[in-house]
A and B are shown apart, each in its own frame.
Chain A
Amino acid sequence: MHPAPSVIFFTTFSGLGFGLLFFLGLGFPAVTGWTAFAFFAIAYVMAVGGLMASTFHLGRPERAIKAFTQWRSSWLSREAWCAVGALVLMGLYGLGLVFFDTRWTAFGILGAVLSMATVFTTSMIYTQLKTIPRWNMKLTPLKFMSLSLAGGALVAGQVDAALVLLVIAGLVQIYAWVEGDKALTSSGTDMASATGLGGIGKVRAFEPPHTGTNYLLREFVHVIGRKHSQKLRIIALGLMTIVPIILLALPFSHFVGVLAIASHVAGVLTARWLFFAEAEHVVGLYYGKR
């Protein structure tokens, strides 16, 4: 899959933003006044900024509002509803904390649930695709949610929770890589089933249908990035989990905290780039590629 920067930024930052909103909604940290304002501002910049970035890859962004109509069948539509629901409820909750010094618990808890629901629906957009075996597994939502919670805990300054969640997210990520590497082979889709010609003999792509490239090859057959995937996995895992864990173990200061967050974000961006670049869409088989 083509690793589009807009989608990588969207999933990384909105995941982090909604993860932070989850912790704020549950009252960790129990902030009010201007401190609360600062926390909510950071969360909204990341969550809303991520959502805005996602509209950049649309062919017709001016019609984006229509994406709210098909919540009965479409995960993308459900994501839109959850995101708006979470942002509105958490906005009201934040209003109470910042300006009235009161904690409207119901709004906070509902907002926290909807924040995680948003991350879950985002992950389901990828998980539902049988055409991309590497994504079509239960580990995908687990990975998105564990990373969102770990990042959220980190930004919320919940050191104990962050330490546990970072370890969990790292383990889920490793497991997802191991299982993902086997996914295409075990999906049963290959050139023989794609062409139906496997019964005659070994199928080889002799000539593509076009001399130049096309939308399908640009969007679905991205093979360049896989060359360094093993090295990038180590870099991603190191920055995403190991470096922040080491930094959190040091005596806490705001500088160390910011460093841990920066490292984590860089790691998640790398892992998310790999998530797309390594994903094989079965349509590549028609071109003899994967």
Chain B
Amino acid sequence: MTTLPAKTEKKLGLVIDLDTCVGCHACVISCKGWNTENYGAPLSDQNAYGADNSGTFLNRVHSYEVQPAGDAAAQLIHFPKSCLHCEDAPCVTVCPTGASYKRVEDGIVLVNESNCIGCGLCAWACPYGARELDQAEGVMKKCTLCVDRIYNENLPEEDRQPACVRTCPAGARHFGDLGDENSSVSKLVAERGGMDLMPEQGTKPVNKYLPPRPKDDMPEFDVLAPFLEPVAEEPKGFLGWLDKTLEKL
């Protein structure tokens, strides 16, 4: 049944640090790579080398310009977005076939692709654009939190985390149990004031976003600058002779 579990044993999810993300899109590529070759239908591309190309991705990085009030410089913030594995996931309850479900053991929201009729209603119900209907397979694709990596004992222990987290060169993505208040991700959220996206939609997302840290004000120049010796010196030697000669001409 596509009713939501009243409580999940764990709340596995991601914490994304908007202060650290450099917008390199490595998480986008590693996600596409892993999820094309592993669990479920591959993430197809349409007209990949043509003029009108598009494809299925489970993770996408937006970039926003934020202009603070006053004269402060605008900030450019890179913003990775994937499924937030909501506690009150509207995508699950709308599903007519039971293909969409939320796991009781860890809270991961998954699609059983062999039951999916591709009606698209779950994507309509998701405010975050986390679900995309694969145009080749006709079924709904979404982030699995790399369920085929995190429990996979055939992988070395350091690889048992989502592909996006494992690949991030900036360390902007963190994976863990957000239901356990002593986990490193929960501590990070508490320390940095982790936030929900679109809280007014009532989805109770598990994934949290760490807001950018306040920026320092950059003064125009150092207060000691007027008292310093100028760096430029009179040219000497050949250049000095050339300078004087050219002045005379």
Question: Does A102 have its Cβ within 8 Å of any Cβ on chain B?
Answer: no
- Rounded to whole Å, the gap between the CB of A196 and the closest CB of chain B is 5
From A199, A212, A282, contact of B127 by CB (8 A):
A282
One of B90, B123, B139, B200 near A188 (C-beta < 8 A): B200
| A201-B69 contact in complex given A67-B96, A74-B2, A209-B61, C-beta closer than 8 Å | yes
A172 interface residue (CB < 8 Å to B)? no
Please measure, in the bound complex, the distance between the C-alpha atom of A228 and the C-alpha atom of B140, giving whole angstroms: 33
Contact, CB under 8 Å: A208 / B62: yes
Q: Is the CB of A205 within 8 A of B62?
A: yes
For the complex, is B188 an interface residue (Cβ under 8 Å from A)? no
Contact of B93 with A206 in the complex, beta carbons under 8 Å = no
Tell me whether B62 and A209 are in contact (CB under 8 A).
Answer: yes
Q: A131-B127, A206-B65, A206-B76 are in contact. Are A193 and B135 (CB under 8 A)?
A: no
Asked whether, in the complex, the Cβ of B60 is within 8 Å of the Cβ of A70, the reply is no
Q: With a CB–CB cut-off of 8 A, which chain B residues contact A196? A: 195-197, 209, 211
Residue of B nearest to A205 (CB): B64
A:27-85 near B, CB below 8 Å: 57-61, 63-64, 66-70, 72-77, 80
Given contacts A59-B120, A194-B197, contact A72 B64 (CB under 8 A): no
Q: Is A210 a contact partner of B90 (Cβ separation < 8 A)?
A: no
Q: Is the CB of A219 within 8 A of B123?
A: yes
Determine the distance from Cα of A195 to Cα of B56 in the docked complex, in whole angstroms. 22
* Shortest beta-carbon distance from A133 to chain B in Å: 10
Q: Which of A265-283 contact B (CB under 8 A)?
A: 281-283
**Cβ of A200 < 8 Å from any Cβ of B?**
yes
Residue-wise interface mask of A (187-203) relative to B, using a CB-CB cutoff of 8 A (1 in contact, 0 not): 11100011111011111
Is A129 touching B212 in the complex (CB atoms < 8 A)?
Answer: no
Q: Is the CB of B96 within 8 A of A130?
A: no
Cβ contacts under 8 Å, B127 to chain A: 130-131, 189, 194, 282-283
Q: Are A200 and B117 in contact (CB under 8 A)?
A: no
Q: Is the CB of B90 within 8 A of A130?
A: yes
Pick from A75, A129, A209, A220: contact of B60, CB under 8 Å: A209
Query: What separation, in Å, do the CA atoms of A57 and B138 have in the docked complex?
Result: 10
- Cβ 8 A contact of B198, one of A64, A129, A193, A213: A193
| A197–B66 touching, CB < 8 Å | yes
- List residues of B (66-124) whose CB comes within 8 Å of A's CBs: 66-69, 72, 74-77, 79, 81, 90, 93-99, 115-121, 123-124
How many A-B contacts are there with CB distance less than 8 Å?
Answer: 200
Q: CB-CB contacts of A210-248 with B at 8 A, as 1s and 0s?
A: 111111101110000000000000000000000000000
In the complex, the chain B residue whose C-beta lies closest to that of A191 is: B64
Nearest chain A CB to B211 CB, angstrom units:
7
- The docked-state distance in angstroms from the alpha carbon of A255 to that of B81 is 58
Chain B residues whose C-beta falls within 8 Å of the C-beta of A220 in the assembled complex: 124, 129
In the complex, B233 has a CB within 8 A of chain A: no
Residues of A within 8 A of B118 (CB): 58-60
User: Chain B residues with Cβ under 8 A from A68's Cβ?
Assistant: 96
Contact of A70 among B55, B64, B95 (CB under 8 A): B95
Say whether, besides A59-B118, A194-B197, A195-B79, A66 and B97 are in contact (CB < 8 Å).
Answer: yes
In angstroms, Cα B95 to Cα A76, docked, is 8
Partner of A189 from the list B68, B93, B200 (CB cut-off 8 Å) is B200
Residue of B nearest to A193 (CB): B198
Chain B interface (Cβ < 8 Å from any Cβ of A): 1-3, 18, 25, 28, 52-57, 60-69, 72, 74-77, 79, 81, 90, 93-99, 115-121, 123-129, 132-135, 137-140, 195-202, 209, 211-212
